Structure 1
Amino acid sequence: MTMQKGTPVDPESGLPIAEIEKTSEQILAETVETLPIRQLAPAFLGVAMTMFMAALDNSIVSTALPKIGTQFEASNKVELVFTCYVITFNAFQGLYGKMSNVFGRKPTVFFAITIFCMGSILSGVSQSMNMFLGARALTGIGAGGIFSLSNIIIADLVSIRDRGKYQGFISAVFAISALVGPVMGGAFVDKVTWRWCFFIQLALAVITIPTMAVMLKLPRPKGDIWSKVKAIDWAGTFFMAISAVFLLLPTNLGGNLFAWNSPLVITMYALAVPSILAFLWIEAKHAENPIVPPYLWKNHNVVTLLSINIFMGMTFWSLMFYLPIYFQIIEHETATNAGLTMIPLEAGVFISSNIAGILVSKYGKYRPYIFTGTGIAVVGISLCLVLAETSSKVIHVVVLFVCGMGVGQLFPTLIVAIQASVERKDLATVSALHNFFRMTGSGFGVAINGALFQNNLNSGLDTSGVPLEWTNLAKSSAQKIVEIPEEYRTTVEDIYLESMKTVFKATIPMAVMMFLLTFLIRHVRLNVKAAPTPEPESAVVPEKGMKEEVVEMEEEKKSAAAPLAVRGDKEEVTDVR
């Protein structure tokens, strides 16, 4: 929101006092039409199925990566698989938020699903690591839209007070997919072929797309295609994309495929600064409809919560990426068993995300659960060092469950917190930024830990006294360690273990930063829980003082019995599709 000089500001939330009163009691409840459960349930089912499809892709890949790296003889490039995905996932986050306002939610999410399926097909038919990296980049474009639009659509369907509960359900869907994914991926790798890890997404799309088309009914903005295309901030999108490339790519390449002082790495880091400055200048001075309005950076809660998201992404995805590799390499598990070993982590996420979401909806407070979630996560990740010292299955289960119980609380609470901190017109934008910063953090986390792992591994092998033939084999593929003669294999495995401990040690300060940032969060009161409307035709009587948003809501409800979509750039909503 644009604040004039002298506008009284609430010291706790950072919002104008006049707006915080509306936010806490009126606006967020009255600009969302709470549907009866018989209408809300099928619509929510469509969103959940879409999220499951994209989340399954995330979790199924990590189990297959050791096999893919071995087949393409490029194990030193496996971190790039995640980096390519994250870069494109992030590059178009702001664009998806604006597109959903301009073109409507359903057309935008169908576009994202189409891109996602194309990337999955190309991933499955890849014949080289370079082709596979390109396919994963394309998949990331689609997945970025699916994740962002799921959060935005849920905000269209339910009030802010109920949103914690439903976000908890979505987090549970994520946990289920993360539970099923490694097991399914391991079964494909061990019994069939790793390519089915990607072809399975097409089978899910056949179910998901018709479900979304039939069950999800949202208003669609009016206007011709050309005027909508012109409304998009293309320059801002471009500089946002290349900023992500110049930040994430050299972080992954440095210390792995290229030296940190190589001209390529230095040049890309150097180009990141002017790219970010150009993006901020365009958003502040040039763009008529900026994908990230500059005033959001003055919102204390938005900045704090986005910072927490960075470190949450670094923490959680480092675990999701490296733990399956740890169990396959160090514990000698098959790909299937490595997936099964991840069950306690996902069980913790499933349980804690649902409990936190329900409590947020019941009591209207999110700060306590963000605090306890980050605190427990620090404890769990610190215990990973104990996990690395033992082969006890009981200890493995306990440590992973504690990690899941901590991180799981953050999935529903962080998105509710950031949505509650802005006006409704900025909801799509902050939802997209929420995903952008989390995935940026995940890219940095995996890249930094990948560089530490690879550097420690290479230096350890080079000074180990193991013949060059076997050290080169160990560097080329972790799965080929079994081919090393037994007299050298133990030494190589010890070096791999020490390298993995380096990853766990580096993840601890990431989690600690996430915990410390929770002390900066200001609480924004959530509105009293709205009761569902008995019939779709019934009108909500606005309280005195509501202006344009409530008037538009009343006009739209006369033309369609559907939840109100977030309006973008004052466009009219005319038809429901």
Structure 2
Amino acid sequence: MFMAALDNSIVSTALPRIGTEFAGSNKVELVFTCYIITANAFQGLWGRCSNIFGRKPIVFLVVGIFVLGSILSGASRSMNMFLGCRALTGTGAGGIFSLANIIIADLVSIRDRGKYQGFISAVFGISALLGPVMGGAFVDKVSWRWCFYIQVALGAITLPTMAIMLKLPRPKGNVWEKLKAIDWAGTFFMAIFTVFLLLPTNLGGTMFPWNSPLIITLYALVIPTAAAFYFVEARYAKHPIVPSYLWRNRNVVTLFGLNVFMGMTFWTLIFYLPIYFQIVEHETATAAGLTMIPLEAGIFISSNIAGILVSKYGKYRPYIFTGTGGALIGIGLCLVLATTSSKIIHVVILLVSGLGIGQLFPCLIVAIQASVERKDLATVSALHNFFRMSGSGFGVAINGALFQNHLKNGLRDAQVPAELAAMAISSSQKIVHLPVEWRGIVEAIYLDSMKTVFKATIPMAAIMFLLTFNLKHVRLNIKSTTDADTGSGTATPKTSGNDEKTMITNDATTATTTAAETTTTTTTTKANM
């Protein structure tokens, strides 16, 4: 988890330099979109494969893909090559994020999961704290390529550690039967749905006009692709990656929506704040990374406190409510951030945002796992990440289009000479090389464009807050590994005995359930002693 989270935060700091070196600052948002598209396209597949082949082999596979993508990203020689390598990296990263949550669900009782998810969120916070600092140091002192090569060293630690320490049962059955159990049609439609949804949102208004045939066609294909995916999962797939009855579960659907808007809100901050501090506040990449510390500190503190409180009292809804409310306040305060250079105000605003968002990391995953039966844990854990990362890509793409359009229109309205405007658009770092009489004007336009991004993020956070009111609480029983029977949105149907015997994943489910129940019993016994 540290590897994947560090990659996310370290790249955002290096992007301005990468865009400058490859003369592709207008494609910077595509870096994130390529990563998100592939991370999401295979979320359902990784969750399903972990049921069929076992958690451990799939963890090794996704970590290997992630490290390979990082190596190739660092070795890239053009922007197009870099985008392709980031897409490969995203394929592995999506599996890492999902399987971390799935494995914790296997090993830890639902009541204790909040605490362990708090630990995971803390790892995420630490990596997000170190990422901008390390990325800034690499960019300023060595080379941006080391932002990716560092993953080789982390992989050399991670893989042997997992081989020795991670003890999980492995399902029985031959490889051919396991391959046939994979929902290939569902995986295909899920992948192309992700492409049709995210790609035009990023390309529109920047590389192509919104009314261009390509953008219109891609958007037009979203609904029929989604319908085809639903039909395949409901009527055709024997072992669907997304069972249709999940869409009738009120809590599950609400939490999917919460994850979408959390991704929009959180990753807009992570993506654009370092750029803001470098361009508007004239900070170095290293200084911009250090300026982000209050945000990550807030996430670190609140995620652990919320996780501990969820484990102690068995309630998650109050912390989702305060978390979304705090995030909304923090985003609103970012408008103040864009009008002042006071470091104290910067710290307060970022800390408030982090304290709000941090509570959501452990609580949302516990809430969605508590709302389903054990057989659906891997599915909803993967979809939890799918919707959050989709929101991330969608939010960054929308705000990227708004930013670029506002910047271009502002430069045109200010009658900035065409060659200087092209320089400012192609690379934000070239602003310092503009003639003095135009530099202040261009910086003011950049600042106004950044305000547009913050304003657009406020309704995203507001919708996230409002969705909290639709959540129905599910009591977390300390003696149970899942609590769907205590009051989830709707009851999920059970698999019949005959069908259960024919499922290739039955051995894996039984084994992991036994392991989880053993761990839960041991934990409960120790707590009672």
TM-score normalised according to structure 2 size? 0.92
Question: 1:395 & 1:508 partners in 2: Cα distance?
Answer: 19
Contact 1:219 1:563 in 2 (8 A): no
What's 2:360 paired with?
Answer: 410
Matched, 1:123 2:87: no
Q: 1:365 aligned to 284, 305, 315, which one?
A: 315
Report the Cα offset of residue 274 of structure 1.
1.3
Deviations 1:331-375 (A, max 9, x none): 000000000000000000000000000000000000000000000
Matched, 1:269 2:210: no
Contact 1:168 1:358 in 2 (8 A): yes
Report the Cα offset of residue 272 of structure 1.
1.5
Contact 2:34 2:87 in 1 (8 A): yes
What's 1:164 paired with?
Answer: 114
Deviations 1:277-314 (A, max 9, x none): 11110001100000000000000100000000000000
Matched, 1:509 2:459: yes
Give the partner amino acid of 2:164.
V
Matched, 1:455 2:398: no
Report the Cα offset of residue 528 of structure 1.
2.7
Matched, 1:252 2:211: no
Matched, 1:474 2:424: yes
Q: 1:173 aligned to 101, 119, 123, which one?
A: 123
Structure 1 unaligned spans of 5+: 1-50, 532-546, 567-577
Partner SS state of residue 221, structure 2 = helix
Matched, 1:308 2:258: yes
Distance 1:528 1:553, change over 3 A: farther
Q: 2:31 aligned to 81, 90, 105, which one?
A: 81
Deviations 1:123-167 (A, max 9, x none): 000000000000000000000000000000001111000000000
Distance 1:175 1:554, change over 3 A: closer
Question: 1:61 & 1:471 partners in 2: Cα distance?
Answer: 26
Question: 2:515 & 2:391 partners in 1: Cα distance?
Answer: 36
Trace 1:127-276 onto structure 2 (pairs within 5 A): 127-276=77-226
Trace 1:385-400 onto structure 2 (pairs within 5 A): 385-400=335-350
Question: 2:223 & 2:515 partners in 1: Cα distance?
Answer: 45
Q: 1:426 aligned to 354, 362, 376, which one?
A: 376
Contact 2:263 2:392 in 1 (8 A): yes
Question: 2:261 & 2:125 partners in 1: Cα distance?
Answer: 19
Contact 2:104 2:113 in 1 (8 A): yes
Contact 1:314 1:441 in 2 (8 A): yes
Question: 1:268 & 1:216 partners in 2: Cα distance?
Answer: 43
What's 1:59 paired with?
Answer: 9
Give the partner amino acid of 1:277.
A
Partner SS state of residue 209, structure 2 = coil
Distance 1:151 1:553, change over 3 A: closer
Question: 2:437 & 2:198 partners in 1: Cα distance?
Answer: 39
Distance 1:99 1:554, change over 3 A: closer
Question: 2:71 & 2:197 partners in 1: Cα distance?
Answer: 28
Question: 2:479 & 2:241 partners in 1: Cα distance?
Answer: 31
Report the Cα offset of residue 465 of structure 1.
2.0
Distance 1:555 1:120, change over 3 A: closer
Distance 1:561 1:423, change over 3 A: closer
Report the Cα offset of residue 565 of structure 1.
11
Question: 2:459 & 2:427 partners in 1: Cα distance?
Answer: 29
Q: 1:445 aligned to 381, 384, 395, which one?
A: 395
Give the partner amino acid of 1:434.
H
Contact 1:218 1:565 in 2 (8 A): no
Question: 1:463 & 1:469 partners in 2: Cα distance?
Answer: 15
Q: What is the total number of aligned residue pairs between the two structures?
A: 498
Aligned-pair identity (%): 75
Question: 1:217 & 1:383 partners in 2: Cα distance?
Answer: 46
Question: 1:220 & 1:529 partners in 2: Cα distance?
Answer: 25
What's 1:114 paired with?
Answer: 64
Contact 2:171 2:511 in 1 (8 A): no
Question: 1:398 & 1:460 partners in 2: Cα distance?
Answer: 30
Give the partner amino acid of 2:244.
P
Question: 1:352 & 1:304 partners in 2: Cα distance?
Answer: 22
What's 1:348 paired with?
Answer: 298
Contact 1:297 1:303 in 2 (8 A): yes
Question: 1:177 & 1:109 partners in 2: Cα distance?
Answer: 20
Deviations 1:439-474 (A, max 9, x none): 000011000000000000000001112222211111
Contact 2:51 2:508 in 1 (8 A): no
What's 1:484 paired with?
Answer: 434
Report the Cα offset of residue 218 of structure 1.
0.5
Question: 2:97 & 2:290 partners in 1: Cα distance?
Answer: 25
What's 2:324 paired with?
Answer: 374
Matched, 1:104 2:65: no
Question: 2:230 & 2:39 partners in 1: Cα distance?
Answer: 20
Give the partner amino acid of 1:246.
F
Deviations 1:475-498 (A, max 9, x none): 111000011011110000000000
Partner SS state of residue 450, structure 2 = helix
Contact 2:172 2:508 in 1 (8 A): no
Distance 1:555 1:365, change over 3 A: closer
Question: 1:555 & 1:247 partners in 2: Cα distance?
Answer: 37
Report the Cα offset of residue 435 of structure 1.
0.2
Root mean square deviation, CA, Å: 2.0
Report the Cα offset of residue 202 of structure 1.
0.7
Q: 2:281 aligned to 325, 331, 339, which one?
A: 331
Partner SS state of residue 170, structure 2 = strand
Distance 1:451 1:556, change over 3 A: closer
Contact 2:51 2:509 in 1 (8 A): no
Question: 1:565 & 1:296 partners in 2: Cα distance?
Answer: 28
What's 1:15 paired with?
Answer: none
Partner SS state of residue 69, structure 2 = helix
Partner SS state of residue 332, structure 1 = coil
Question: 2:427 & 2:471 partners in 1: Cα distance?
Answer: 44
Give the partner amino acid of 1:278.
A
Contact 1:53 1:201 in 2 (8 A): yes
Question: 2:211 & 2:380 partners in 1: Cα distance?
Answer: 36
Compare the two structures and name the one with the higher helix fraction: 2
Deviations 1:373-414 (A, max 9, x none): 000111111000001100000000000000000000000000
Contact 1:306 1:437 in 2 (8 A): yes
Give the partner amino acid of 1:65.
L
Question: 1:66 & 1:232 partners in 2: Cα distance?
Answer: 41
Contact 1:218 1:563 in 2 (8 A): no
Question: 2:515 & 2:238 partners in 1: Cα distance?
Answer: 30
What's 2:386 paired with?
Answer: 436
Q: 1:290 aligned to 240, 246, 267, which one?
A: 240
